[in-house]
Amino acid sequence: MPRRCLLIAGLSLAASIAVGAAAGDSLKDAEADAARGWRILRTKAFVPADFDQETFDSLWKTWPGPLRSQAEKATAEERRKMSFARYGLVEAPDDIDRGGPGIGYVRDGDRGWAMSCLACHAGKVAGRVVPGLPNSHYGLATLVEDVRRTKLAQAKPLAHLDLAALKVPLGTTHGTTNSVMFGVILGALREPDMTVNTLRAPPKLLHHDMDAPPLWNLKKKRSLYVDGFAPKSHRPLMQFMLLPANDRETVYGWEDDFEAIFAWIESLEPPRYPWEIDDRLAAAGRAVFERNCATCHGTYGDGGRYVQKTIPLAEIGTDPVRFRALAGYREAMRKSWMSRYGEDPVEVEPVGYVAPPLDGVWATAPYFHNGSVPTLWHVLHPDERPAVWKRTEDGYDRARGGLEITPLDAVPPTKAAAERRRFFDTGQPGKSAAGHDFPNALTEPEKRAVLEYLKTL
């Protein structure tokens, strides 16, 4: 080979090695950022503690008579399990602070339990803990009510949520929360540059419950939230930390932490379906899915492709309350530090809801943005969706793909708010299970095949 060709080949090889090394370094950096983001979520308190260990250990004393009697006779460990079940708290899958507050809270350094993002964004499916999975068990309103009663009995000062819950609903059903409006309220107490101004008047509030989305879908999307209005950036994730106690400099100082948390979110992979799958039926379902569903939800497997698409509200037909609730807030985000003062795109006037990617969809019940539909079978059978339903603790309905439930015509009569929250009532404002009736175009055999295919994603 001529000397000049050898030189060119050598330079090309060196360039390839350099590019490969750079890509490898970039991957290592991303993995390091993701690992750091996970540690931050599990160990750093961004908000004041909601309660301390003593208060948590005494919550059982506020419970209804039969449950309280059972707890009184139980060991401390048994009472802990009963408390976690009552409030939808999730044990940690790692060894960080084993036996501590669980995965959704972190210690504040003084026996206090401070809520973290994982309270809503780490859940269980069939009893298995999955970080990034929506916590469909979380009973925040019930927890705060019991904490407030316990603190008053202990003559302890009330915390921010104890007081806020007296004016703002925290959630009307276990597994869903009014968290979006928390962000609206906290954002209203800030100037665009995040300076605290508690004299600012809050906007008109339209309270509504939301089901948290699976975090692993973020990597495929180009914007945040069910209506796709917010930029895909770490900054909007910080809105829930905007308590007045955290001044502007504190918020700015946390930006590096939330960049790492964002990297952790983008590193997540969906869990695989753990049971048997009928491969032949799933293959038939893939063909049906790609003819009827892929236009909105994308394709999967080798060569799969998802392009984020917003479906107009009149076409999708799902509950409109969430869509209407943020009318003024979207513009406020466009003008603020949260979007780099509009440099990051904010959709001020979205037309509807984003059709999400369906990776790991088998694990993410209940369905729709408000958590109103308990199984994939019910998604595929719009006319069969229950008016009211109640789930079991860790049961998974393999036949229907989703929560194991008891359907009812109405919520049983009860005066206890904590008991009512265990029933999902689709007749309540913002909780409708109507809409997304596209599956009515499919035959019953096609629906069975699609359901089997969805297990493979």
pLDDT in tens, 143-163: 999 999 999 999 999 999 999
Report whether pLDDT(6) > 50: no
- What pLDDT was estimated at residue 10? 47
Segment among 151-155, 272-276, 307-311, 414-418 with least mean pLDDT = 414-418
Residue 262 near residue 361 (C-beta atoms within 8 A): no
CA angle 127/130/136 to nearest 5° reads 65
Q: What is the pLDDT of residue 245?
A: 94
Mean of the pLDDT values across residues 69-95? Answer: 93
| Distance of alpha carbon 83 from alpha carbon 250, whole angstroms | 33
Does residue 377 carry a pLDDT above 60?
yes
Q: Is 291 helix (H, G, I), strand (E, B) or coil?
A: helix
- The pLDDT value recorded for residue 95 is 65
What CA–CA distances, in Å, run from 348 to 225, 324, 330, 333, 416? 13, 12, 5, 9, 40
Give the residues across from 131 on adjacent strands: 122
Residue positions counted in the chain: 457
Q: Would the pLDDT of 325 be above 60? A: yes
Residue 14 C-beta-side C-alpha neighbours within 13 Å: 6
Spatial neighbors of 284 by CB under 8 A, at least 6 apart, are 449, 453
For residue 415, the model assigns a pLDDT of 81
The band of 8, judged by pLDDT with boundaries at 50, 70 and 90, is very low
> Mutual orientation of helices 255-267 and 3-43 as an angle, nearest 10°?
110
Residues β-bridged to residue 373:
367
Q: What percent of the chain has pLDDT over 70?
A: 93
- Higher pLDDT: 20 or 168? It is 168
Burial class of residue 45 in the structure, from the number of CB atoms within 10 Å of its CB (0-12 exposed, 13-18 middle, 19+ buried): middle
What is the 3-state composition of the chain as percent helix, strand, coil, each rounded to the nearest 5?
Answer: 45, 10, 45
Provide the 3-class DSSP secondary structure of residue 123. strand
Q: What is the pTM of this model?
A: 0.91
Write phi, then psi, for 421 (nearest 5 degrees): -70, -15
Strand ranges for 78-161 from DSSP E: 105-107, 112-115, 122-125, 128-131
d(C-alpha 221, C-alpha 214), whole Å? 12
β-pairing, 352-355 with 309-312?
A: antiparallel
Give the SS3 label for residue 48: coil
Q: pLDDT (tens digit, 9 = 90+) per residue, 251-280?
A: 999 999 999 999 999 999 999 999 999 999
Q: How confident is the model over 85-118, as pLDDT tens digits? A: 999 999 988 766 667 789 999 998 888 999 999 9
Q: By percentage, how much of the chain surpasses pLDDT 90?
A: 88
**Spatial distance between the Cα atoms of 161 and 102, rounded to a whole number of angstroms:** 19
Q: DSSP 3-state assignment of 215?
A: helix
Q: 402: part of which helix (H) or strand (E)?
A: strand 402-408
216 pLDDT more than 70: yes
Distances (CA, A) of 448 to 117, 180, 336, 380: 36, 35, 48, 9
